[in-house]
Homo-oligomer: A and B are copies of this chain.
Amino acid sequence: MSSRVLIKNAALVTMDENRGVIDQGNLLVEDGIIKKISTGPDEIPGDVKVISGEGKVVIPGLINLHNHAAMTLFRSYADDYPLMEWLTKKIFPAEAKLTEKDVYWGTSLALLEMIRGGTTTFVDMYYFMEQTARACQEGGIRAMLSQVFIGAENSSRGFNTLEDAVKFIEDWQDQDNRLIQAILGPHALYTCPPDFLERVLKETEHLNTIIHIHLSESRDEVEQSLESHGKTPVALLDDLGMFERQVIAGHCVHLNDEDVQILSEKGVGISHNPCSNLKLGNGIAPLQKLLENNACVGLGTDGAASNNNLDMFEEIKLCSLLQKGILADPTVIPARTAFELATRGGARALGMDGSIGILKEGAMADLAVIDFNKPHLQPHNDPVANLVYSASANDVETVMVDGKILYEQGEFLTLDEEKIYHEAQECAKRLRQ
């Protein structure tokens, strides 16, 4: 396959404040990089695959900041349960049966869904992470993967230890891999007590890696922390010095004003997961307030068991609509802001602003082409509003990561769709028994 791709005469939603939306532009990809963005007729270089952009919109690949990819196996397996019953009677017992094979096929199914939906980078936390990494390598997606661990051993859930997690990171740092980054995943404050987290921070200082953690997801979590430690989870992690490192904090729903200030000042990368937060009854995060305080926010789906899909377009629409609705103000989180969260917001949270989540010369060629020849994307009044308020994952036609096309016109070029459906189905059948 040619390493050069030219998308011709497409609308380009660059997310670059200098370029804005280019109504009709050409985008040339070479060696994994966006080599040139131009307007008007342009000469076509030799040895290049040309994609006609007529009626199409090119966007930076979407960035999913919080996922448990292999949990696609538990999609629609146990919905509408009270939270503790859901966890203890349904999810934990099923997860106790998980094998490496399950994680491999569950992740592969998640990759089909994410790639097909325009997601080009995701952050994950789960078990058997080397299997997740293997699936990601095959799929060709960009991923930050954390082997989840907790402070106390709990054999029935088969949690990893800190040592397992460190080994996973060291193994991957030894490899020369452009796309996969192993990061640190302490599960949450309520499963990792403060003294354990102190040890974690000390023992992983040399690793210089992103930390991925659940934070202030439920009201109970915050109340427990106030009761046990006299502090909110955010204030406590700040005290421990965690926010001197680069952190992706999943959820951040129940925040007081001081929490908002800490998260904003320390530049903590917040994964706002509106679907999951509603579905599990956790509520609505103060997104507008976070943005007013210049917090670093991106979007995530959480795992498919609590969403139940990995459609970033749903998160984009919902994050805007929810704030409008609860603040009784239709002007908050306008379309461009919502779309920015899923692109540059995610990139900033990962310390990769300028490299991903943006279409500009020199940035990595992670992008998606959306076909606007669909009833719900007509007429062409405003492409960004159409993307935010009307599009869905299903509208994505072509997806490229690092200059390589992974999905095109309904076909997966790196993954075996039918085999993955079959194997994931077999895994799910065994797990739910």
Contact = CB atoms under 8 A, between A and B. Distances in A.
Contact of A277 (B307, B325, B381): B325
Interface residues on A, range: 35 or more
Contacts of A199: none
Interface in A233-251: none
A79 interface: yes
B334 A389 contact: no
A216 B99 CA distance: 53
A127 B335 CA distance: 29
A18 interface: no
A146 B308 CA distance: 37
A322 B275 CA distance: 9
Interface in A306-329: 307-311, 314, 317-318, 320-322, 324-329
Nearest to A427: B379
A278 B321 contact: yes
A389 B425 contact: no
A297 to B, nearest CB: 18
Nearest to A394: B394
Interface stretch (A58-66, A130-138, A258-266, A279-287): A279-287
Contacts of A383: 76
Interface string A366-391: 00000001011011111101100110
Contacts of A425: 378-380
Contact of A331 (B75, B81, B389): B81
A259 to B, nearest CB: 19
B321 A275 contact: yes
A385 B321 contact: no
A382 B82 CA distance: 18
Contacts of A168: none
A55 to B, nearest CB: 9
Contacts of A326: 283-284
A325 B421 CA distance: 32
Identical copies of this chain, number? 2
A389 B308 CA distance: 5
A424 B279 contact: no
Given A381-B75, A392-B392, A80 B277 contact: no
Contacts of A12: none
Contact of A325 (B283, B330, B395): B283
A145 interface: no
Contacts of A375: 72, 109-110, 112-113, 116, 417
A331 B275 contact: no
A219 interface: yes
A390 B77 contact: no
Contacts of A37: none
Interface in A387-411: 389-390, 392-395
Contacts of A379: 72-73, 75, 109, 421, 424-425, 427-429
A381 B325 contact: no
Contacts of A82: 329-331
A83 interface: yes
Contacts of A81: 330-331
A323 to B, nearest CB: 9
A378 B335 contact: no
Nearest to A322: B278
Nearest to A421: B378
Contacts of A80: 330-331, 334-335
Contacts of A428: 379-381
A279 to B, nearest CB: 5
A218 to B, nearest CB: 9
Given A309-B389, A380-B425, 5 more contacts: A82-B329, A278-B321, A308-B389, A310-B376, A379-B421
24 contacts: A75-B378, A75-B390, A76-B383, A76-B385, A81-B330, A109-B375, A109-B378, A113-B375, A113-B376, A116-B375, A279-B324, A279-B389, A281-B327, A283-B325, A283-B326, A304-B376, A314-B317, A318-B318, A373-B421, A378-B421, A379-B424, A392-B392, A394-B394, A394-B395
